[in-house]
Amino acid sequence: MLTFEQIKELIDQVAHHRLNGIELEDSEFRLRIDGQRLVESAPDIVQMAAPAMPATSLPPVETTPVAAPVAAPVVAVSEPEADVPAGSHILNSPIVGTFYRSPDPKSAAFVEVGQQVKAGEALCIVEAMKLMNEIESDVDGTIVKIYVENAQAVEYGEPLFAIKAD
């Protein structure tokens, strides 16, 4: 079974090398990462004139246009807002998925604005491919902003929390 860090590295490699995706499978698990294709611009289709051929030749071969180049996934990372104290640590999403503030719909949120947190403390869950990934604080401090609403989709690198480090 792969660790969270290994899965994260695979996602980074798919984006870096502009792959369409990757699929791994063994007896215990199956992992599929789909690359995101963004077409930069439609290519110009160039019509090629067929050379003159004698009547006994085969008919000219039809050409097909080549697809536009594929760009790496775009990750938009927003700048800290004015209501976030200068020097605050921004905790970004390490994966693409769905953000949840609590472990289940009936439970209280992991953290609230103004709450003290310790490094290693769970702040939220990001669900990716039916796996619930607890996202932990990497600093001691106070939560000053929660950027994402509950059950909202998040992208890799998207800000989740602003934490004023102690």
Domains of the chain in sequence order: 1-73 (no CATH), 89-165 (2.40.50.100)
**Model pLDDT, residue 65:** 56
Q: For residue 152, which amino acid is it? A: Q
Nearest to 155 by CA among 79, 89, 98: 98
Q: What is the DSSP letter of 86?
A: T
Take residue 82 and report the two structure tokens written for it: 């004015």
> pLDDT by residue (tens digit) across 48-104?
444 555 555 555 555 555 555 555 444 444 444 557 778 899 999 999 999 999 999
Q: Which of 24-38, 41-55, 88-102, 132-146 has the lowest mean pLDDT?
A: 41-55
Take residue 61 and report the two structure tokens written for it: 């071969």
